[in-house]
Amino acid sequence: MHYYTGVHIRDAANNNALLTPSYRWNPLQINWGTPDNYPPTMDHGGTYPISVEVQNTGISDWTCGYPNFSYVLTYRWAKAGHGEVTGSSWASVCGTLKGDPSPMVNLTIQNIPNWGAGAYTIRFDIYVTSAYGNFWFSERGWRSYDVSVCVGGPCKGFIPAVRKDYP
């Protein structure tokens, strides 16, 4: 599935106000390296190499230089009652043009926080190092791409699914 790129959705009833953020992305596919391509049950201390096809659906290319020195795909760990911890690996997506082609990048899921067994969330996001202040795309109005994973199993009734935050 590909998404419209380089465009904004506007509110005609509100003086053409922008309804979409400028910084956007979508994972077109995630290869988990499992026979069914679902996230594996993960264990503390384990490493899980994945590949992600990243599409820039924003309004500009991700050119690394001044003022935005780097764009990286990375992730944060989350679990109910424990907050968030930034993951320890990342993949550069510098030079990604809006639209296609969409690069396939390699990322290692590792250093799982020791919050006990159960359902965790991996929040994939693009992080930008900028002269004007570093930021996550999710801080600029575009949601992270959240994937539920089972850590330390068994997870009762666990169904690997992509979640979308709802108000």
Percent of the residues in the chain that have a pLDDT greater than 90, as a whole number? 72
What does the pLDDT look like over 13-70, one tens digit per residue?
777 666 677 899 999 999 999 999 999 999 999 999 999 999 999 888 999 999 999 9
Q: What is the pTM of this model?
A: 0.85
The mean pLDDT value of the chain amounts to: 88
Sort residue 83 into left (φ over 0), alpha (ψ -120 to 50) or beta: left
Q: What domains does the chain contain, in order, with CATH numbers?
A: 10-162 (2.60.40.770)
Tell me: pLDDT of 1 over 50: no
